[in-house]
Amino acid sequence: SFFHTAQNTQFKMGEVSPVDLGEGRVLIAPHDGIMLLDKQTLRPEREPIHIALSAIALEGKNYYNVDHLNHLTLASNERSIGIRFAALDYRGTEDIRYQTRFYPAGKKNAPWNVPTELSSIFVQDIHPGEYIFEVRSTNALGQWQNNTRQLYVSVTPTFWESTLGKALTIGFLLIVTIVITIL
């Protein structure tokens, strides 16, 4: 039951989707008739809409049930990531828009992508380092929410990209240069 009247009568909702009649009016169909509501009287929720991470794709493999993740470490051979997400507003998805950004950790004022209805992002050829993925959304009424969801992404370097690998490469080149110079 979704509504309670002053007499504490409960309305049980049917399976019919609400109908937007335009001019700020919505028609809903509980089991016992119909109700006409004014959109102005519908107040936004007190809590922002939750954004759930629904799937992550790494090198051709999909992983589901990932909403619990706050940090993800990619192996040295994983340089591309796909992230799917959803704003959990059960009133509908027609007016939900998302903005995303994927940027190096520590960068200030990274720009947001253009608002879109697409609920996924794909980033490829990521260099080793620490990154932050952020997504925010509107609710089903098209109102921007204070619901930014973050995922920290660490990309592990290959051996030759690591500090030790670079030091060994430079050392080897110095030795070769010295040997060639002496001979």
pLDDT in tens, 116-144: 999 999 999 999 999 999 999 999 888 99
pLDDT at 136: 97
Residue 148: pLDDT band (50, 70, 90) is very high
pLDDT at 46: 67
Angle at 178 between CA 176 and CA 181, to 5 degrees: 110
pLDDT at 23: 81
DSSP 53-75: EEEEEETTEEEE--TT-SEEEE-
Q: Tokens representing 88?
A: 């959990």
The larger pLDDT score, comparing residue 119 to residue 166, is at 119
C-alpha–C-alpha distance, residues 79 and 66, integer Å: 19
Task: Tell whether the model's pLDDT for residue 92 goes beyond 60.
Answer: yes
Find the radius of gyration of the CA atoms of the chain: 26
